[in-house]
Structure 1
Amino acid sequence: MALLIMILRKMIKNKWLELSLLFGLVLTVALASSMPIYTNAILQRMLSQELQNLQSDTGQYPGTYWLSADNPAAEGGKAPPDEGFFATDDYLSQKASGRFGLPVQQFVRERATAVYSFLPSDTERMDVNKIRWANFAAISDVEKHIALKDGRLPKKEPVDGVYEALVVPDALTELNLVLGNVFAVKDDKVKSEIRVKPVGVIEPSDYTDLFWYNSTVSYKSSFLIDLDLFDKSFTKGNELTVESSYWYFALDYTRMTLSSAKDFLAENGRIAAHMNGQYDTHSKNAPALRTLGVYKEKEAKLKILLLSLNVPVMLMLGFYLYMVANLITERQKTEIAVLRSRGASRLQIVLGYTIEGLVLGVIAFFAGPYVGVMITKVLGASSGFLEFVQRAKLHAEVGREAFEYALIAIVLSLAMTLLPVLLATRFSIVAHKQQLARIRKQSFWHKYYIDFLLIAISLYGLQSYETRMSKLLSIGANTADMSVDPLLFLIPAFFVLGLGLCLLRLYPWFIRLIYLIGRRWWPPSLYYTLIQVGRTSASYKFIMVFMIITIATGIFSASANRTINKNVADKIDYRIGADIAMTIRWESDAPPILLSGGAAGADGDTAEETASSNNGAPRKTQYTEPSFLPFTQMPEVEHAAKVFVKKDASYYAPARGNDGDASKLQERGKVELMGIDTYEFGMTAWLRDGLLDYSFNSYLNLLASEPTAVLISRSMAIQHGLNTGDLIQIGWYGADTAEFIVYGIVDYWPTWNPGAGGAPQPSADDGGSAKPAMPSLVIGNLSYIQNSVSLEPYEVWLKLKEGSSSEDVYQAVTDKGYDITSLADANQERIRAVNDPFQLAINGVMTLDFLISIVITFVGFLLYWVLSLFARTLQFGILRAMGISIFQLIGMLIAEQLLISGAAILLGVLNGNLTSRLFVRLFEMSFDKRTQILPFEVTFNPSDQVGLYVIVTIMMVLGIGILGFTVSRIRIHQALKLGED
């Protein structure tokens, strides 16, 4: 106890250093614990959204859990009493219902017999020639969920040997029934007479009631009787063959969490084992299982991604903890040396500091996870680097896993804080005084060339990744499989640290060079500052490393974040082509497309393809073009364009024989034909700069210069040996063929994927042998295509005005009387991409890492300089006594800050830009090459760096202001008295 009191008193004596250490520990624990908290929160949001989308898209209730089983005794006689349907009834109602992890809204049991023929007993008033095929069915507690349309509820026991039953309205027509008539089962296998009388017609009391898994139409051939009576007479009594049984749970899926999802999956496994043991034939329908099936994999990938993204800031926090612990140790080295000289062992001294660290660690352990919850909310609101949006808050909870991460962080952090103590215990008081009198030796990382080693490792990793990526791309592999490789984020962190240390190796020489260049002209204050900085380089390296890493990490994070977001957005804009692309219904004289059962010809042709004229030529469908003018007059629309796309147009060329006859055309392959109005297309469509040899508008001007002019893709030019000036002919089945002139060759065009190959096709000069097809594109003038080939429906592309809502556009189109048959909205696609959990993780973590780095650097900055000022109090007092004014002293301090902190900022900018240019391109491996289409482009946005510089400048100004205030409070007589002592 006395030892603990002594340690607490020592901590109170160094309260500011201890609070700084505690601050770092809390941040470290918070960041570590935020990883499982954020993972669970974002997966919870995804789970809820996808279950809601499942219901809206398919109309299925996601909480449905439906089972069916065929009677195992239907062929082999009576089942044992502990098996079959009753065993499943007991298992599901008593065990399973409480183990789903979700509230059970409904539990329904249903039985059904085999189908039998029924004949009316009243042969005079009923049609005996009509065979009525029906079965008996029973649903548990059905009377609580129905409304009587006619008749009454049946008795729960046979009346004079007649079963009373309910029927649905459709059964009256299907079975030709009248309430009150008696029907008898007519089947040679049924020995006893079974009679039934429908006495009531029912419908659901509430059509939104989850009790009704099936529509009532499904019971149009069923007589519904009481379930207990059904089991007594049929299931146990075997009067009729019970064919199947059904069990249905309606679970409250809105209460599903990741924890209850695990319970749901576990119970599903237990139910599957039970059903497999009881029945040879059974089935299941649980829509939520399809959604839950992929979550385990997503959870594992997201955890690895978060750990990888947090590696740089974790290294920085470890560095911060080491620096603070080193500052504490430096102030207590004399005390440690005295203890060692008086017989204390190294273990005893380290144990005392361990107890001190445990006191702070316990506080951080319990406080850190709750700070991690706040960090999670920051992650959820980020939509880009230092960009935040109003978004639904993440449901963040502190669980067991968060405290497990916190414990690991505490253990590793305490190890970092004890390292300086362990090093300090090597010296006795004599050795300590000798070390103080010596000139500082070279730092550990410079002495053993750690900086060059880190740079070499990172460059080797860069080369390895690029080699690996080139191999993957050469074989057409999916590079998205490597999107969460931790080394992808660790290598840049190594490079930032290594380059920062390397620059610091050179910086003292730079200071000496400045001193030598102007030593004849420097004023005394600046002369003193240069001497001070040049001779004490070892003391300020910690703070310079801090600032270099912070600035470099911030620039790298901004560039990586902006690059990823922009490439995702560009992919969406390119794939859609404009803000909105839609198709509307056109009136035509095309025959209806028949489905199965004779819908297609012998070769599977559609009805339109098989339609032909009297001479056997394909019939040309006539379309009526709706007015396009209203699209251009909508207040939300800035520009609108007609874009005709024919995916399966045919490219024709002369079939050259031995005699050179070129009069006959031969199909050479399928092409995608796009028809456009050049001016409106140029004003509406989107294409990234730099993708074409010339500007986008230059190619559009080429098309506009000649009606027959076309642009072709480079793949088509290579495959068919085409060049500018060549004549080509394009057409398709059921349309005419027209001649075009190649005016230009393009590599990219809005919506066109140059990497999407097709089926093997004959090439131009291979004699008809099949080779893998290359995608081909032809862009022509819409008016010429419509006049010379065919008038067919086109797409409508819209460019919206700034701030316009997509919903307003949809409503305006509908109000104009158009029927939208397909729709693609780039803005909605971008929102969906930003809300992707992996995109959220990258946006949020990179922003958070930078903010934490700034806070840590600011605290370390102040801590270092305040302690440095107090350590130099005598020096400042002597300078004041020598006549240096307070303003000159503050000017010297500002100059020192510019030479140290300002230089660190400039070195950090250099470091960050170089790291970004080298390593950001590795993020290309996060994208599936099959869907990326556009070349991966590294992006720098000046606004990101401006925001970073503003934050750093504010930090510097605040820091210098605090230091200036501290210097102004120094009392000369106290400083001189301290020197005398």
Structure 2
Amino acid sequence: MALFVMIIRKMVQNKWLVSSMFFGILITVALVGTMPIYSEAILSRMLVKDLEVFQNEKGVYPGTHWSMLGFYRESNEKRAKVISEMDKFMEVKAGEFGIPIKELVHERRTQSVLLIPPGSIDDKKSKQTATLRSYSDFEDHIKLEDGRMPANKPVDGVYEVLVTAQTLSNFNTVLDTVFELKDDKLLGTVKIKPVGVFNKKVYNDPYFRNASLSDLNSVFIINEELFAQEFIRGNKAQVMSVGWFFVLDYSKMGLGQVDQFIETDKSIKEKVQSKVVSFQTEFSVPALNTITKYLERSKQLNKLMWSLNVPVLIMLGFYMFMVSNLIVDRQKNEIAILRSRGAARWQVVLSFAIEGAFLCAIAWITGPFIGMGLTKLLGASNGFLEFVQRSRMPVHINDQAFLYGGAAAIVSFIMMLIPVIIATRVSIVGHKQQLARMNRKPFWHKAFLDIAALAVSIYGLYTFRNRLKDLKSLGLNMDDLKIDPLQFVMPALFVLGAGLLLLRLYPYVLKLIYWVGRKWWPPSLYATLIQVGRSNSQYQFLMVFLIMTIAIGVFSAGAARTLNNNTEDRIRYGNGADFVTTGQWQNDAPPAVSFGGGPAPAPVPKVIHYLEPSFEPYKKLPGVESAAKVFVKDKATFSLEGNKNGVAQLIGIDSDDFGMTSWFPNNLLDYEFYDYLNLLAADSRGVLISRTLAEQKGVKKGDTINVGWENVDSQSFVVFGIIEYFPTFNPNPPVGSINAAETDAKSNAPMLIVGSLSRIQFHLALEPYKVWLKLKPDYPTSQFYDDIKQAKIALTSIVNTREALTKAKNDPFLLALNGILTLGFIISILISFVGFLLYWILSLKGRTLQNGIMRAIGLSLRQLIGMLALEQLLTSGVAILIGVIVGNVASRLFVPNFQIAFNPSSLVPPFKVMFEAIDFIRLYSIVGFMLLLGLGILSYMLSRIRIHQALKLGED
């Protein structure tokens, strides 16, 4: 108890240091806790959105699960027993999907039997067949269009049924007509009478597996209870199959329910299939493919989140070590006295351990809840330090958040104890010796940890680049080569190593500055240079901390901007223009003949002749800035001298229109993109070929190449230029086209030929081309679609690049990227500000006597603040400058590694590190505000110093 009271008193005495330490632990636990929370939230939202898209495109409600069990030669008793058992089983499974169940529909079907209309004598000539079905809760989902609801018991020995209007038409009958069912397996005479025509009560009701009800157009629907009594238990007609149709509320599905859904689906299938001796089964789970893909996406997203958070976590660990070291430094004298008076090391460590465990326990309990709040902040990010209004993500705390938070708390606890363990090794004599040797070299300096960290990071960068090169050249997926997760620690190691290396050189820079102006420096600058130069080791922790914070901030800004812009560039390059349209071309090809009879289709001619539609309406659309004709032939053939031939993609363009309409990044080719287009404009015989074609076939500029395609005679062209990239062209081998064991990857790379459209149309053939459109920047997309309708332009397809860009911004990887990097930077700046302020406040308090003497000997408050500002400039300012430099270098070296989170073979144009001024304006504004605020607080503290109090402190 006495130990606990001593610990509480010690914490109260050092409340600011303890609060700062607790703040660091809490932020660390909260940040780590956001990983599973955010991963589940963002993937859950994207899963629901993808299921909604599936429903809109396929017209099928994705939240359904259908299973059917068919019978063959089972006895009536066995069928009834199996149906009863499976009904109970399905009722239990309804609660195991993990999401709300809207409906559980029980479906029963009889065998197909002959339908004998009234008055028919020769039933053998009747070829009409039908089945009886029953559905649970059927009456709640239909409306009567004619007639009445059937009775739930036989009426004069006749079973009343419901039908669709199409059923009456198919059987050429009307309501209240009595039919007799005929089959060898019927038990007695079975008669049915349609008494009502039904339709769906709600148009898009997911209760019906077939939205059009086409599967019910030869079916008679009978009351569920009557069916069970008369056909399942009474065996009036043989029951051939039973089905169970779950309608699930997929909008409530999250990543946490995916495993439950898959396991329940597996359990149902195993149970149904276990009944298969002479049974038949059928299953339908529309959403299963989409859900299964998300398991892989969640793994990739977790890998990305860890990789992005590693530098921030290292920085937080360094912060906790620094604050713990400050706490221990203030208590080293006390620790040394306790050790000298007989206290064991474990007793001293235990007192700090209890204090640390108390702080870590509170952080572990509260951290995940703060992490949940941070996750909501992440959901609003649209770019680095950019926020937009979005619909709220389904955020909730899960078990993994506490598990991850607990691991972070344990690591924080260890980081806190390291300085304590080191301090307990020193006696009171050793402590006084250390105070007399404050200018000794730090451990990292003597052990050359900066050189080691740089060497490891550069080696990791080298091996990673080689693996990326293999991924691209072999056309492999990112999972085909195993990537060491430690590769994502390399940026933090580089930042730490480079920062420490520059700090190793910094004292020499200070000496040079002092030596150059030693005869002219004013007293305040002279005193500051001496203070900083002689006490350089005191500033090491602060400077390294600021370097890591700023460098990680710059790295985060570069990574976010690079991945955002590269994603947009990839989409623009892949599409080629804002809109890509395909119009309707009249031709002499025979019309397609549908199945089901009619005259035999006419043979398709070898050459189809097309009539080109007018191009002017495209150019006259109000929102169109420019338009271009682009002819694409994917499997054009070419031949060269020496029996060299092959297949390439042929693109025909009008160079002037194409240059104004297409999108192409700068500095991607040896010369400007427009210079290559001018080559084609000068001579219609000229073509541009891809470098892949030139290397595979040994083609050079000036060579003649013959180009054509199936049923079209080839014509000669002259190679005017060799290009590596062209809008929509990917020179990398297709994914999966090459085995990792193959060495000659270039032989399978795609090839391209670009020529003049007019020559291709005149000398080869006139075939349909696409129209590329460039819209005015602020022209609404919806208005553009209306313009197309008003102009009556007939289109068969349209590719909307703007829509693709919007969809990409909502991709979970980019959302995670922007959110995590923004959060990491905000935390870095916040921690940096707290650490910066804490360090200087303690420093000023420790130099109260020195500052009081400065005032006493005649220095004004203004001069004292100037000295403080200069000291800040030579320490914090220099650290920030080094951080900016190191962060920029780290970004250019290590940001390309993040393309491993995508498919490197599809990253065309090549992945490129990008920066924008706005990112650095935000970064430097926040850092500048932090420094000015800190300087203001410190200046206020200086102004509060009383000379007589400082001198009295010196006398004491």
Instruction: State the TM-score bracket (shorter-chain normalisation).
Output: over 0.9
Secondary structure of the 1:273 match is: helix
| Structure 1 position 596, deviation (Å) | 7.1
- For the Cα contact (< 8 Å) 2:80–2:233, is it kept in 1? no
The CA distance in 2 between the partners of 1:922 and 1:77, in whole Å, is 66
Could you give the per-residue CA deviations for residues 778-822 of structure 1, whole angstroms, max 9, x where no partner exists?
222223333333333221211222222323222221221123322
2:315 counterpart of 1:320: no
Q: Distance in 1 between matches of 2:599 and 2:2?
A: 95
User: Counterparts of 1:377 and 1:300 in 2: how far apart (Å)?
Assistant: 21
Aligned: 1:255 with 2:252: yes
* One-letter identity of the residue aligned with 2:759: Y
Question: Do structure 1's residue 222 and structure 2's residue 231 form an aligned pair?
Answer: no
Give the aligned partner of residue 915 of structure 1: 890
What's 1:58 paired with? 58
1:172–1:738 CA distance, 2 compared to 1 (3 A): same
User: C-alpha displacement at 1:410, in angstroms?
Assistant: 1.7
Deviation of residue 256 (structure 1)?
A: 2.0
Picking from 950, 966, 969, the partner of 2:944 is 969
Q: Which amino acid aligns with 1:195?
A: K
Residues 1:623 and 2:620 are matched in the alignment: no
- Which structure 2 residues correspond to residues 180-579 of structure 1 after superposition, within 5 A? 180-190=176-186, 192-214=188-210, 215-279=212-276, 280-479=279-478, 485-579=484-578
2:175 to 173, 179, 190: 179
Which residue in the other structure is 2:117 paired with?
120
Equivalent in 134, 139, 148 of residue 144 of structure 2: 148
Q: What residue in structure 1 maps to residue 625 of structure 2?
A: 638
Deviations 1:930-977 (A, max 9, x none): 322322323233433333222222222222222222212211111111
Measure, in 2, the Cα distance between the counterparts of 1:381 and 1:390: 6
SS of 2:393's equivalent in the other structure is: coil
Determine the C-alpha separation between the residues in 1 that align with 2:141 and 2:33. 48
Q: Which residue of 1 aligns with 2:796?
A: 821
> Map of 1:90-169 to 2, 5 A cutoff?
90-93=88-91, 95-123=92-120, 129-169=125-165
Does the 8 A contact of 1:182 with 1:195 survive in 2? yes
1:830-841 to structure 2, matched below 5 A, reads: 830-841=805-816
- Quote the Cα distance in structure 2 between the aligned partners of 1:252 and 1:722: 60
Inter-partner Cα distance in structure 2 for 1:303 and 1:135: 52
Relative distance call for 1:524 and 1:750 in structure 2 (3 A) is same
Residues 579-618 of structure 1 aligned to structure 2 (within 5 Å): 579-594=578-593, 610-612=603-605, 618=606
- Structure 1 residue 275 displacement after superposition: 0.9
C-alpha contact (below 8 Å) 1:620/1:734 kept by paired residues: no
| Shift, 1:534, TM fit | 1.2
The amino acid that maps onto 1:35 is M
Once residues 344 and 395 of structure 1 are traced to their aligned partners in structure 2, the CA distance between those partners, rounded to angstroms, is 53
Q: Closer, same or farther in 2 for the Cα pair 1:527/1:624, shift >3 Å?
A: closer
Counterpart residue type for residue 669 of structure 2: L
The CA RMSD over aligned residues, in Å, is 2.9
Tell me, what secondary structure is at the counterpart of 1:52?
Answer: helix
1:189-246: CA deviations, max 9, x gaps?
5463333333333323333333322343322222222233323333233332221112
CA distance in 2, matches of 1:206, 1:641: 46
> Hey, what's the Cα distance between the residues in 2 that align with 1:847 and 1:262?
31
* 1:663 matched residue in structure 2: none
Q: 1:682 aligns with which of 647, 652, 659?
A: 659
The question of whether the paired residues in 1 share the 8 Å contact of 2:367 and 2:405 is answered with: yes
- 1:710/1:780 contact within 8 Å kept: yes
Task: Answer with 705-714 or 885-894: which moved more.
Answer: 705-714
Change in 2 beyond 3 A, CA 1:187/1:434: closer
1:845 offset after TM fit, Å? 1.6
1:310 aligned counterpart, secondary structure: helix
CA distance in 1, matches of 2:853, 2:599: 103
Shift in alpha-carbon separation, 1:907–1:208, aligned structure 2, 3 A: closer
1:67 deviates by 1.4
1:595-654 deviations in Å (ceiling 9; x for gaps): 6799999xxxxx89x434xxxxx34323241x3323223332222212122223333668
**Are 1:650 and 2:650 matched, yes or no?**
no
Determine if the alignment matches structure 1 residue 876 to structure 2 residue 851. Answer: yes
Corresponding residue of 1:80: 78
For 2:27, the equivalent position in structure 1 comes to: 27
CA distance in 1, matches of 2:573, 2:851: 64
The CA deviation at 1:249 is: 1.7
Q: What is the aligned partner in structure 2 of residue 810 from structure 1?
A: 785
Equivalent-residue separation in structure 1 for 2:257 and 2:700 (angstroms): 63
Q: Residues of 2 paired with 1:54 and 1:130: CA distance?
A: 43
Decide whether the 8 Å contact of 1:337 with 1:429 is kept in 2: yes
Tell me by how many angstroms 1:485 deviates.
4.8
Q: Given that residues 304 and 901 in structure 2 are in contact (C-alpha distance below 8 angstroms), is that contact kept between their aligned partners in structure 1?
A: no
**CA offset at residue 401 of structure 1?**
2.0
| Residues 471 and 481 in structure 2, CA contact (< 8 A), matched pair in contact too | no
Q: Is the 8 A contact 1:381 1:391 kept in 2?
A: yes
**Is the 2:478–2:900 Cα contact (8 Å) retained in structure 1?**
yes
* 2:668 is the alignment partner of 1:698: no
1:320 offset after TM fit, Å?
A: 1.0
User: Residue 690 of structure 2 aligns with which residue?
Assistant: 713
CA distance in 2, matches of 1:414, 1:654: 74
Instruction: Tell me how far apart the structure 2 counterparts of residues 253 and 456 of structure 1 sit (CA, whole Å).
Output: 51
Is residue 145–residue 211 contact of structure 1 (8 Å, CA) maintained in 2? yes
Contact 1:588–1:624 (Cα < 8 Å) also in 2: no
Shift in Å, 1:734:
5.3
Q: Given residue 346 of structure 1, which amino acid in structure 2 is its aligned partner? A: R
Give the direction of change, closer, same or farther, for the CA distance of 1:937–1:480 in structure 2 (3 Å limit).
farther
Decide whether the 8 Å contact of 1:119 with 1:128 is kept in 2.
Answer: no
Mapped to 2, the partners of 1:830 and 1:949 lie a distance apart of: 29
Matches within 5 A, 1:844-883: 844-883=819-858
Q: Which runs of 5+ in 1 are unaligned?
A: 602-606, 613-617, 657-666, 761-770
SS, match of residue 76 in structure 2: coil
1:196 is aligned with what amino acid?
I
Q: From the superposition, tell whether residues 165 and 469 of structure 1 become closer, same or farther in structure 2 (CA, over 3 Å).
A: closer
Contact 1:707–1:784 (CA<8 Å) still a contact in 2?
yes
Number of aligned positions between the proteins: 945
Q: Which amino acid aligns with 1:113?
A: T
On the 8 A contact 1:737/1:789 being kept in 2, the answer is yes
Task: Work out the percentage of aligned pairs sharing the same amino acid.
Answer: 47
Instruction: Name the residue aligned to 1:664.
Output: none
Q: How far, CA to CA, are the matches of 2:30 and 2:311 in structure 1? A: 15
Q: CA deviation at 1:863?
A: 0.9
- Kept in 1: contact 2:580–2:772 (CA 8 A): yes
C-alpha distance in structure 2 between counterparts of 1:896 and 1:188, whole Å: 104
Find the aligned partners of 2:458 and 2:609 in 1 and give their Cα distance.
62
User: 1:24 touches 1:856 (CA, 8 Å); kept in 2?
Assistant: yes
Quote how far apart the aligned CAs of 1:494 are: 0.8
Q: Structure 2 CA distance, aligned partners of 1:53 and 1:471?
A: 35
From the superposition, tell whether residues 492 and 136 of structure 1 become closer, same or farther in structure 2 (CA, over 3 Å).
Answer: same
- Measured after TM superposition, the shift of residue 257 of structure 1 is 2.6
| Secondary structure of residue in 1 paired with 2:652 | strand
**1:703 touches 1:781 (CA, 8 Å); kept in 2?**
yes
Deviation, 1:323, is 1.2
SS in 2 for 1:833: helix
Show the 5 A alignment for 1:714-863.
714-733=691-710, 738-756=715-733, 775-863=750-838
Provide the rounded CA distance (Å) in 1 between the counterparts of 2:651 and 2:474.
Answer: 30
TM-score (norm 1): 0.91
TM-score in terms of structure 2 length:
0.93
Q: Which amino acid aligns with 2:673?
A: F
Contact 1:346 1:425 in 2 (8 A): yes
